[in-house]
């Protein structure tokens, strides 16, 4: 069985204070740990990088905030796919790349849980990939709902994971994935 580690939008843009309060400050450390294991076993790593055509956006390519965070910097030979929408599968080469490489299992990490991580996870499951979402290798920011009520980051994160688990993916921690699946 071939698998890929997908790292979604771990970009400097998410250091910006405009996002507000965030949960799981260890997400990038957990991603880095998984990345080290993937590299050591020479498995597929795919970075997803959000891009905007708006020069005022944090995701505009000329801005430092567009860059992938140093803690998980890609190395030569690792694929980087840019996307302009929430799903890493829409208008990108991700699906074809996975199929052409014979990859049947994807392990999803990155930012943010209710947005690009969730959307990509849903599509991965719907496209038939065995999908694992690493719960402590993703994070959320607090949001204001349609009634102008603030919902804290931890609640957003856990609610997002609950809507994905056992329907689109197996939601599991970094240590659980390593213990149960890394040496298969």
pLDDT tens by residue, 50-91:
999 999 999 999 999 999 999 999 999 999 999 999 999 999
pLDDT of 184? 61
CA separation for the pair 173, 184 (Å, rounded): 17
* CB neighbour class for 50 (10 Å; exposed up to 12, middle 13-18, buried from 19): buried
CATH number at residue 45: 3.40.50.850
CA separation for the pair 67, 125 (Å, rounded): 28
83: domain range?
A: 2-181
pLDDT tens by residue, 9-57:
999 999 999 999 999 999 999 999 999 999 999 999 999 999 999 999 9
pLDDT above 90: residue 154:
yes
Total domains in the fold of the chain: 1
Residues 85 and 50 sit within 8 Å (Cβ to Cβ): no
Residues 12 and 43 sit within 8 Å (Cβ to Cβ): no
| Strand 79-83 versus strand 143-144 pairing type | unpaired
């Amino acid at each position: 069985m071939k698998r890929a580690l997908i790292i979604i939008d771990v970009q400097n843009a998410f250091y910006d204070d405009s996002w507000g309060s965030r949960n799981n400050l260890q997400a990038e450390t957990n991603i880095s740990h998984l990345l080290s294991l993937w590299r050591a076993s020479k498995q597929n790593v795919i970075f997803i990088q959000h891009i905007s055509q708006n020069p005022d956006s944090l995701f505009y390519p000329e801005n430092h905030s567009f860059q992938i965070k140093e803690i998980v910097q890609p190395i030569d030979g690792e694929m980087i796919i840019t996307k302009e929408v929430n799903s890493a599968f829409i208008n990108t080469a991700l699906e074809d790349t996975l199929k052409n490489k014979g990859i049947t299992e994807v392990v999803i990490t990155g930012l943010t849980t209710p947005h690009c991580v969730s959307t990509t996870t849903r599509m991965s499951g719907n496209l038939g990939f065995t999908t694992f979402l690493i719960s402590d290798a993703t994070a959320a920011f607090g949001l204001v709902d349609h009634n102008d009520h603030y919902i804290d980051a931890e609640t957003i994160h856990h609610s997002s994971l609950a809507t994905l688990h056992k329907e689109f993916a197996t939601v599991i921690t970094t240590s659980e994935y390593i213990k149960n699946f890394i040496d298969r």
